[in-house]
Amino acid sequence: MINPAAQWAIQIDVTNRCRRTCSNCTRLLAHARERFCMSPWAFRQACAAVHTFPDHSTPDRNGRPKVIGMIGGEPLLHPEFPELCEIMAEEIPDRRHRGLWTSEPLLITLGAC
C-alpha cells in the first residue's frame, strides 16, 4: 500500500448526487439512503486541512504534480458549486494543484475552476 503522503491526489467528496446509475459505481451510490451536499463551511475546512499536501508531501513516484480536487457523485450537481470553486481557489491558489473529477460531458481541465 502506498503511504497516503506519497499519493498523487486527495479527493474531497462534496456530494453523492449523480445523474448516472453505473452498475459498478465505486461510490456505492445505489446503497446511499439519502443524498448529501457538503456545506461550503465544511468544504473550506477540508481544503484548509490538506492545503499543504501539494508542496509538503512525498513526491509522486511518477513525477506528477500533486492535486487536491472535488469528487462525488457528481460535483457539478452541488447547488453551491461556484462557491466551492471560489473557496478552492482561495485555499489552493496554485491552479496546477486543483482538480475536478466529473462524469459530465463538459470540457473541463484540471485547475479550470
Nearest to ligand SF4 of 27, 95 (CB atom): 27
Nearest to ligand SF4 of 63, 105 (CB atom): 105
Residue located via cell numbers 473550506: 44
Q: How far is the CB of 23 from ligand SF4 (least distance, A)?
A: 9
Point out which residues bind ligand SF4 (CB under 6 A): 18, 20-22, 25-27, 29, 72-74, 103
Residues contacting residue 13 through CB under 8 Å, at least 6 positions apart: 27, 38, 71, 72, 73
Q: How far is the CB of 70 from ligand SF4 (least distance, A)?
A: 12
Residue 85 DSSP SS3: helix
Is the dihedral angle over the CA atoms 22, 23, 24, 30 positive or is it negative? positive
Nearest to ligand SF4 of 54, 75 (CB atom): 75
